[in-house]
Each structure stands twice: as structure tokens, then as C-alpha cells.
Amino acid sequence: MTAPLRSDATMVPVALGDRSYDIVIGRGLLASLGARIAALRPGAKAAIVTDENVARLHLAAAEAALAHAGVPMQHIVVPPGEGSKSYRGFEQVCEAVIASRIERGDLIIALGGGVIGDLAGFVAAVVRRGLDYVQVPTTLLADVDSSVGGKTAIDSAHGKNLVGAFHQPLLVLADTALLDSLPEREFRAGYAEVAKYGLLGDAPFFAWLESNWREVFAGGPAREHAIAVSCRAKAAIVARDERETGDRALLNLGHTFGHAFEAGCGFSDRLLHGEAVALGMALAFAFSAKQGLLPATEAERARRHLAEVGLPTRPCDVSGPLPSLDRLMELIAQDKKVKRGMLTFILVRGIGAAFVENGVDAGAVRTFLGEKLTER
């Protein structure tokens, strides 16, 4: 007998024609993983890809759910951290999946945060020319951002997520109970991506977060509401622009500046991805204000909320030596949104009013960053 499917879970559809799937959000959903996979792909085997930290906390429960539903499985455990999103890490997981005799009708389960979701999703995109995969995010950041939308990738020496593919999952199972074991810093970093949805296109949601962020951190209904609103926002954008040729680029608010600092810090614990996004969003608002696109008070409002939560909003908030201005500009020039050598940024005309700006003057960016690097 398989575990019953929870009827009180929140379902957010991602409408992509024959690649459509559901994001299922709620507490205690991991027990239904096997039943959901058996219903979607009867008779399929599964390879669970996870990292050492998540394996200690959640692998046994995931395997028990699969076994209860009669889904044969194996697991592949990689070291935690961004370092696993490398050519070497990718090769090792590909070879392990092939060695486990996973066939084209079988699937991969990404059990972990954004690193695991990106890595396992990219493996699924290419092994045997494409396998189904299921995202089981274990961090807030993965719940609301990286597990949704089918962007999979590994890092290059030249920057983050530069080698990858668009490959949509079969299902996203967001068990909010898994966040209870998340260190506070990791949860706070994920919150940056929640705030992003308000800052880029939903001013009322951002105002709600300003009033309710403590309840989101505490858990319960406010947390599930924030995750559901964020997932609906991303699902709507992905449905309009699956391959990031238009609106989907808005989801990169803060990422051009943020990725440069993240790479400049060596993809290390000095600056987590969500922290880099928070810093990048504060810089994007400040740069937009400097360009006369919005009042400085609006930019300060966005920065103040991120800082109140405990996220970095100025380069001096990052511990240790900062990358040089030349290095930051070199990394920005490698950003995936660069077109024919011209910089593209997500700028804002106000809270909830982001837009894509092509052909941003590199000199203006350099001057702005030079000033920010000297702030204390």
C-alpha cells in the first residue's frame, strides 16, 4: 500500500504544453514521493542524487518513501557546496548514473538545494540524451527559485552556470518541513529570492514581506504563503518565456552584480548565492537610482528591508578581501545576458517595476562599482 497523496497540499502548475508539471507545496510531503513517482512513471527506477549533508538528514526518508511505493532506487552522494557543480563533479555523477543502469524510461531525483538541483538536472538533460527528473528541494532558495523552470547548469572557470541546458522536471515536491533543519544563514540566503519576486514585479507582496518576514522565518502558514506566491510568480514567467528570450530575464534581478561578487569570492562560504543575490539587488536598485530611474528613497527602502533581515547589501558587508574592480568588470562581461559584447542589466523604475535594459554603458557600471567598493 502506498502513502496517500496529501489533499491539503498547494498545487502550482507550470504550463508548458507537453512539458507541463506541478509544484506541490506543503508539510510532510516527502512520504508521498514514491507514490507520486509511481503514478507519473509506473515501473520506473530512480537514481537519487544528493550531497553528504542532505543525505544525513533526508536520504533515508526519501528511500523509504520510494521503497514503500515499490520504486527501485540507488543513490549517488556528492560533496556539499558549489564545488560539486564542476566538470569533474558532472562527470562523476554521469558515470554513476550510467553505472546504475538507469534507462531512458527511468528518472533521476534531485534531493537537495540549488547545487544539487542544477547538477542533477543537467545530468538528466544529457545522459542517454535525456532522462526525466524530479526536484525535491531542501532549501528555501531551491523551493522558490532553482527547482522551478528547468534551468540546469554547472560552473565554468569564467563564471557561474555557464555550461548547461534547459530541461524541465517531471515534478517539484516542496516539502516545507525539510526547511526546519536548515541553518538560519541558509534560510536567510534563500529569503533573498523570495524578496526578489516582490521587488521585481509585485509591490504588494514586498509590502507584505516587510510586515511579515519574521513569521516567514518562524514557519507555519506565512512561510507556505510566501513560497506559494513566489512559485506562482516564477511559474507564470516561465510559462511565458521558457528559454529566457524575454520576460524570464527579469528573474535575474540582482544576479549580474551578485554573480560577479560570488565568483570573485571563489564560490565559497564567504558569500552564499542568496547573499550574493541580495547584494546584487541592492546594487541594482542603487544603480537604477543613480541613473534617475527611481527616487533614492525607494532604493533605500529595498536595501533597508534586505539589511533588516540580515542580508549583505553593500560590498563592505562581505567578509574578507573583495575582488578588484577590474576583476568584477571582467566577470560582469562574462554574464549570460551579455549580447554581442553589450551589457544587459535588470534595472528598476520602482519596487515591483523591474525591466530589462540592453546596452548598459560599461563605463557607468565601472564608475558606480568603484564608488561602492570604497563605501564603509
Structure confidence by residue, pLDDT tens digits, 61-80: 999 999 999 999 999 999 99
Q: Considering the domain boundaries, does residue 190 fall inside one?
A: no
Distance CA 144, CA 228 (A): 8
Asked if residue 116 and residue 63 are part of one domain, the reply reads yes
42 shares a domain with 172:
yes
C-alpha cell at position 128: 542517454
The verdict on 165 and 300 lying in the same domain is no
Residue 2 lies in a domain: no
Structural domain boundaries, residue 16: 10-181
Using the 3D structure, point to which of 132, 147, 181 is the last residue of a domain: 181
- Residue from 245, 311, 320, 241 nearest 283 by CA: 311
Indicate the number of domains in the chain.
2
37 and 110 co-located in one domain: yes
Residues 151 and 206 in one domain: no
Instruction: Tell whether 64 and 208 lie within a shared domain.
Output: no
What CATH number is attached to the domain comprising 213? 1.20.1090.10
Outline where 291-321 has alpha helix (H). 296-309
Q: Are residues 159 and 237 in the same domain?
A: no
* Residue 17 and residue 161 in one domain: yes
Distant-in-sequence, close-in-space partners of 162: CB < 8 Å, separation ≥ 6? 153, 155, 156, 334, 336
Average pLDDT in the 287-306 region? 98
Q: Are residues 215 and 363 in the same domain?
A: yes
pTM reported for the whole predicted model: 0.91
Side-chain-side CA neighbours of 29 within 13 Å: the count stands at 26
* Cell numbers standing for residue 2: 502506498
- State the greatest distance between any 2 C-alpha atoms of the chain, in Å, as a whole number: 64
pLDDT of residue 1: 33
DSSP label at residue 7: S
292 domain residue, yes or no: yes
* DSSP sequence for 175-215: EGGGGGGS-HHHHHHHHHHHHHHHHHH-HHHHHHHHHHHHH
| Digit-coded pLDDT (tens) for 66-119 | 999 999 999 999 999 989 999 999 999 999 999 999 999 999 999 999 999 999
pLDDT recorded at residue 245: 82
Domain boundary among 181, 210, 241: 181
SS3 295: coil
Confidence of residue 2 (pLDDT cuts 50, 70, 90): very low
**In angstroms, rounded to a whole number, what is the distance separating the alpha carbons of residues 373 and 325?**
8
What integer is the mean pLDDT of 192-212?
A: 98
| Torsion from C-alpha of 92, 94, 97, 98, nearest 10 degrees | -110
Domain for residue 283, yes or no? yes
Instruction: Give the active site residues.
Output: 129, 151, 193, 234, 244, 248, 252, 255, 259, 273
Asked whether residue 194 is assigned to any structural domain, the reply reads no
Report the C-alpha gap between 216 and 223 in whole angstroms: 4
CA neighbor of 286 nearest in space, from 245, 233, 345: 345
Q: Following DSSP, what letter does each residue of 34-46 receive, concatenated? A: HHHHHHHSTT--E
CATH code of the domain containing 60: 3.40.50.1970
* 210 lies in the same domain as 352: yes
Backbone angles phi and psi of 74, in degrees to 5? -135, 165
Mean pLDDT for 183-191 is 96
Domain contains 186:
no
Is residue 189 a part of any domain in this protein?
no
Question: pLDDT at position 160, please?
Answer: 83
Beta bridge partners of 346: 356
Between helices 221-240 and 184-201, what is the axis angle to 10°?
50
In this structure, the answer to whether residues 89 and 228 fall within a common structural domain is no
Same-domain status, 209 and 157: no
DSSP string, 101-137: T--TTSEEEEEESHHHHHHHHHHHHHGGG--EEEEEE
Buried b (16+ CB within 10 A) or exposed e, 112-148: bbbbbbbbbbbbbbebeeebbbbbbbbbbbbbbbbbb
Sign of CA dihedral 193, 197, 203, 208: negative
The residue count of the chain comes to 376
Q: Is the per-residue pLDDT at 275 higher than 60?
A: yes
Asked whether residue 192 is assigned to any structural domain, the reply reads: no
Domain limit, last residue, from 181, 214, 246: 181
Q: Is 54 helix (H, G, I), strand (E, B) or coil?
A: helix
Pairwise CA distance, residues 287 & 38, whole Å = 50
